[in-house]
Amino acid sequence: MGPFAPLTGSITTDPSLEQRRPLAVKIGNGDPKDRPQAGLAAADIVYEVLVEAGFTRFIAVFHSEIPTRIGPVRSARSSDFDILTDLATPYLATSGANSTVLREMRQAARDGTLIDIGALRMGAPYGRDRSRPSPHNLYFHYENLGGGDPDSLPGGLPDTPPVPLFDYGSPNPPGLPDAAGVTVAYRTLYGGEVSHVWDNHLGGWVRIQDGTLHTTETASGVGEIAPANVVVLSMPYGTSAADRRSPQAQSYGQGDALVLTAGSVHEAVWERTEDRVGFRFSDTAGNPLSLSSGSTWVLLGNTSRRWPLAEVTVLTPSDVTGLLADARAAADAEVSAAGRS
């Protein structure tokens, strides 16, 4: 048996993985013009974080595989830096930030939390897709980082490789009966609704956003997003020093969670402390919960009344059947209409 990729728990045959620095990319999601995004299916971990007006934005973390095109790349937020402390000084690719967040980013770089490879610092890895409207058309191309020379990558080889952020592969106690997915909704202002529903054929939790199948560009075309694991964290958000309209996730501490893995939904408690890397999960009886090997999406749902509240609903198998059938039918109809135009 070969070594394991630290951020997925999957067996890897890539001998260079320990010498590869994780790549975190801020990716837009709040506007339909952001979708379909590029590269999300290859991400080891995706954090979905509340930003302004009920929109969400992604921090997509790539390590075991880095696709050729990732985006659309958008700006950083104050929530990002605490989240990135778990990743052994990753690269951070962004389109920029306001002046206060830029100061926070510079401090995070000085602290060794990240290496800033944003578009405000370097142009070579970035390009505009003129078929899409700005600002939803900036894409990151990893092969152009360091001028395409692996020996010239910013920061050089990592001092230490990343370590697992979750426990993988151990047996779990039974999950909730009659549960096959979850919906997280922000219903105020411009907020939307996202569901992750189990598909046994794909072996993953298919993502549906605002009733539409959430797809992403892959090397073989456009495909469904269906991570092996989904974790919904209930956590407070404070107010960012960068903007009174901007929420900031309080990602250290503990709170309620739902852990979706191996076709089961578990009511859980999450915990994250500054003296230990990553999140730990246990069920309501105190039993530890483990994830399946593969990609993990972490949805940081807000519980603070200062901001739009995350409404979390567990879905039954009958809910899931109808939701998934409607979303796939709508996607097929859209493809057919595009072919006729």
To the question of pTM greater than 0.85 for the whole model, the response is yes
pLDDT tens by residue, 91-136: 999 999 999 999 999 999 999 999 999 999 999 999 999 999 999 9
Residue 3 pLDDT: 85
- The helix/strand/coil state of 42 is helix
Average pLDDT, the chain: 94
Residue 341 pLDDT: 59
Q: Span 281-304, mean pLDDT?
A: 97
Q: Span 41-58, mean pLDDT?
A: 96
**Is residue 291 located within the same domain as residue 329?**
yes
* Total number of domains in the chain: 2
**Is residue 71 located within the same domain as residue 139?**
yes
**Is residue 213 located within the same domain as residue 105?**
no
pLDDT tens by residue, 164-206: 999 999 999 999 999 999 999 998 878 889 999 999 999 999 9
Domain limit, last residue, from 131, 152, 173? 152
Q: Span 44-65, mean pLDDT?
A: 96
Residue 151 pLDDT: 77
**Is residue 295 located within the same domain as residue 215?**
yes
Could you write out the DSSP letters of every residue in 74-99?
Answer: ----TTHHHHHGGGSS-EEE-S---H
Q: How far is CA 315 from CA 59, 181, 208, 329, in A?
A: 26, 5, 13, 20
**Is residue 38 located within the same domain as residue 115?**
yes
Domain limit, last residue, from 152, 172, 207? 152
Percent of the chain with pLDDT over 90: 86
Give the pLDDT band of residue 224 (cuts 50, 70, 90).
very high
**Is residue 227 located within the same domain as residue 141?**
no
Tell me the CATH number at 246. Answer: 3.50.90.10
Q: Span 61-89, mean pLDDT?
A: 97
Residue 150 pLDDT: 72
Sequence length of the chain is 341
- The helix/strand/coil state of 26 is strand
Q: What are phi and psi of 195, to 5 degrees?
A: -125, 145
Residue 51 pLDDT: 96
- Report the chain's terminal Cα–Cα distance, integer Å: 51
**What residue numbers bound the domain in which 24 lies?**
20-152
**Structural domain includes residue 82:** yes
Residue 1 pLDDT: 56
**Is residue 148 located within the same domain as residue 192?**
no
**Is residue 140 located within the same domain as residue 216?**
no
**Structural domain includes residue 161:** no
Residue 331 pLDDT: 85
